[in-house]
Amino acid sequence: MTTQLEPTVPDRPVASTATRPPRRSRHWLVQQFQVLLTDGPGLAGLVILVLFFLIAGVGVYVAPYDPTEIQYLPDGAMARVQPPSALFWFGTTTHGRDVFSQTLSGARVAVLVGFLSAVATVFIGTNVGLLAGYFGNWLDDVLMRIVDISYGIPFLPFAIILVSLLGPSIWNVILVISLLFWRTTARVIRAQVLSLKQRPFVWSARAAGAGDLYILYRHILPNVLPIVLLYATLSIGSSVLTEAGLSFLGFGDPNYPSWGTMLNQAFRAGAARTMWWWIIPPGVSLSLFVVAAYLVGRAYEVVVDPRLRRQET
């Protein structure tokens, strides 16, 4: 007598937690910060920028003298053209002002102009690029024609005319930079949005009933944020360099000594021949700040451009 074996039913697969992809528990900003930690030059640039931010915050409290006041020697004589010493670490100017205190004050101007100008230009450029690329049609045409017109405006004559009309001020310099420096960011963001809005995740969100603005700022914007950070870091360096150039031409704020103003005063006094201590501190500080911003932006190029990522691996 033979027994008939019942067909065996295979067990249902049990979902294993080991095969599930790990959740992203780290914040997005922490992930972006780790991009700099894995890049040596980018980390060096970040350290230099943080150092300048600290100097800008505490420099007014640790400066030995007022950067705008005339200093005097212990015998009562004006401290004119004093070389670096224990009394004046970076020497003095032809008007008896302390160069070290002015250099610390210039860091505050550089951080203020660089940060606010970068935020303003990236904010304007990102929103213009998002709206033009996503909605298209007549809105895209109008916004892109505005970008074309802004590219046709020469920056230096425009800045000189505007600052002359409004008056020399840090805020007017920030306004001039913000009015023209957003155009490149807008074009790059628009090109990315034109590609992203055709992706399946945008179709799924639209099929689920999501509105246009929700899709734009909740789904598309996070995908272009690495590009936004890249242009923000580049805008910091270019804004500081632009402010220094305008101040060197005499259009800076006279109430806030900047590195460009220091170089302008040193140039007019003929410091290049005899007073090297008046030129080196602002020149080196300006160069370090701009190079540091470039190094941070270079680190984010690996995130933005996959070809660079493949080359490094």
* pLDDT over 90 (residue 123): yes
Number of domains in the chain: 1
* pLDDT over 50 (residue 23): no
The pLDDT value recorded for residue 72 is 85
Q: Does 214 map to a domain?
A: yes
Which region among 70-79, 147-156, 214-223, 303-312 has the lowest average model confidence (pLDDT)?
Answer: 303-312
**Cα dihedral sign, 291-296-298-299:** positive
Q: Does 76 map to a domain?
A: no
- What are the structure tokens assigned to 226, written together? 């690495």
- What are the structure tokens assigned to 290, written together? 């701009």
Cβ contact 75:34 at 8 Å: no
Q: Residue 48's domain is classified under what CATH number? A: 1.10.3720.10
Q: Can you give the residue range of the structural domain that contains 174? A: 37-59+84-312
Secondary structure in 3-state letters for 232-281: HHHHHHHHHHHHHHHHHCCCCCCCCCCHHHHHHHHHHCCHHHHCHHHHHH
Q: Does 17 map to a domain?
A: no
pTM (2 decimals)?
Answer: 0.79
